[in-house]
Amino acid sequence: MAKTKVYFIKEITSENLIKIYEALGINLDGKVGVKVSTGEAGSRGYLKADLIGPLVKKLNGTIIECNTAYPGLRTTAEEHIKVAKEHGFTSFADVDIMDANGEKKIPVKNGKHLKYNIVGTHLDNYDSMLNLAHGKGHAMGGFGANLKNQSIGVASRNGKAYIHSCGQTEDPDKSWTIEYEQKDFIESMAEAAKSVADYFKDNNKKIAYITVMNFLSVDCDCDCNQTDPVMQDIGILASLDPVANDQAFIDMVWNSIDPGAKKLQERVDRQEGRHILPYAEELGLGTREYELIEL
């Protein structure tokens, strides 16, 4: 497999976000869904309106999200929209909670753990998607970037429970009490991300991937007590391949001379987070071989 192009810009600005998107040479047309994390109430690391707003407006995009499986202020569409509004997302785009009116199952091909994936019915309303991720640590997945944003992020509330339980239950209340192997959870996320990529491809729809590497906390934006960043901002990555983009993010964290990088590395490895990359590659979602092109 040929090396995938991954673009990189060091300075994180709204202008550079547009520049790196344009470098991809893809035209996300029709109705564009921009998948970002709206951030749990109380979190601080979510991508801010002034940073992403200009790109979302350029694409005439709609912010797309799904409700959370864990108890918080984003478990219902009504409460979730309130949080999105407080975090500034409604100031520049419509916000669509995709499982507000129900959910549907989409196929998982060659999955070891998931028989299917469960997404919000509104996913069908979009002709293309920008997977706009915030790269950072994650208490359960080790790290979160494009693959997590497309798996847990796109899944409905019950779909999230199904992924978290490695295919054992769709009930959010039960999913936290079910025992599973950590590696199986990491693999379940990869399977769910692949199912979304396949679903778009099978319907002739496009996806582009961007990861903003700022506010590098060991905690996710889904954590209402998100801790301070452990290292300096790195920059922005973009690719048409989520595996290559996530691999580039991980490589930059591992190659960093920032003394705080070790804390993020430890968080990732404690949860076997890097395992998602070879497994996603094995599933055919993308390649870990990439050519980094600095803009």
Question: DSSP character for 272?
Answer: T
Mean pLDDT of 53-60: 98
Mean pLDDT score of the chain, rounded to an integer? Answer: 96
pTM for the model: 0.97
| CA separation for the pair 113, 191 (Å, rounded) | 8
Residue 268 has pLDDT above 90, yes or no: yes
Paired strand residues for 138:
142
pLDDT (tens digit, 9 = 90+) per residue, 3-18? 899 999 999 999 999 9
- pLDDT class of 74 with cuts at 50, 70, 90: confident
pLDDT value, residue 76: 86
- pLDDT class of 1 with cuts at 50, 70, 90: low
Mean pLDDT of 146-167: 96
| Fold (CATH) for 4-294 | Rossmann fold (3.40.50)
How do strand 116-120 and strand 128-134 relate by DSSP bridges? unpaired
In total, the chain counts a number of residues equal to: 295
Residue 279 has pLDDT above 80, yes or no: yes
Question: Would you say 92 and 76 are in contact if contact means Cβ atoms under 8 Å apart?
Answer: no
pLDDT (tens digit, 9 = 90+) per residue, 213-264? 999 999 998 888 899 999 999 999 999 999 999 999 999 999 999 999 999 9
Residue 95 has pLDDT above 90, yes or no: yes
At residue 52, what are phi and psi to the nearest 5 degrees? -95, -20
